[in-house]
Amino acid sequence: MTDGNRTPSSERPAVPAPPDLHAEYKKDPEDPHGGVTLPIYAFSAEGHPLVEEYGGTRLVRAEVGAGPGMTYIGIRQPVDPPLTGPFTPALPGLVAVFHGGHEEPILYYDVHGRPVLLFKDEGTCYLTLAENLHDVKRIEHRPSSPMTDD
């Protein structure tokens, strides 16, 4: 079904897209690199993401929006928000376990509830999200042993 301008209903904007939402395309869908993205401007009433048509004249479904030879892969979600305060102290005994076997204490949670540790590197140190360090294997809680009377 089309409107008076011959625009299919599946390509008529109905709901604006959230910021930083992109359609992802690749020449070779099996290649993990070499993709491009286009901003998604809206969604149709039927739920199709709408991007600017190749050549930039109107909004079309993401499946047909890329240039010649490009394959629509899907929607690329926005990246996680950056490390953000205010920070909440973490539970005592919470540690990040690294692939090499060493451990670092988790000091805080950021405003999004993600574990934060103090990262030391060549004379500098800074707060970082544990999930952003590629060699973190897992987060564990190592409760201290209860005090006993002798």
The fraction of the chain above a pLDDT of 90, given in percent, is 1
Which pLDDT belongs to residue 28? 77
Quick check: is 127 in a domain? yes
Domain count, the chain: 2
pLDDT in tens, 31-47: 766 678 889 898 887 77
Q: How many CB atoms lie within 10 A of CB 86?
A: 8
- pTM as predicted: 0.48
Q: In terms of domains, do 103 and 50 share one?
A: no
Amino acid code (one letter) for 65: G
Residue 27, both tokens: 């020449």
Print the domain residue range for 25.
9-76
Quick check: is 23 in a domain? yes
Q: In terms of domains, do 46 and 100 share one?
A: no
Determine the average pLDDT of the residues in 108-127.
80
- Pick the last residue of a domain from 76, 102, 120: 76
Q: Give the integer Cα–Cα distance in Å for 96 and 79.
A: 22
The fraction of the chain above a pLDDT of 70, given in percent, is 86
Q: In terms of domains, do 16 and 47 share one?
A: yes
Determine the average pLDDT of the residues in 13-22.
80
Quick check: is 123 in a domain? yes
Quick check: is 92 in a domain? yes
Determine the average pLDDT of the residues in 18-22.
79
| Rg from Cα positions in the chain | 24
Task: Report which DSSP code applies to 8.
Answer: B
Helix (H, G, I), strand (E, B) or coil at 117: strand
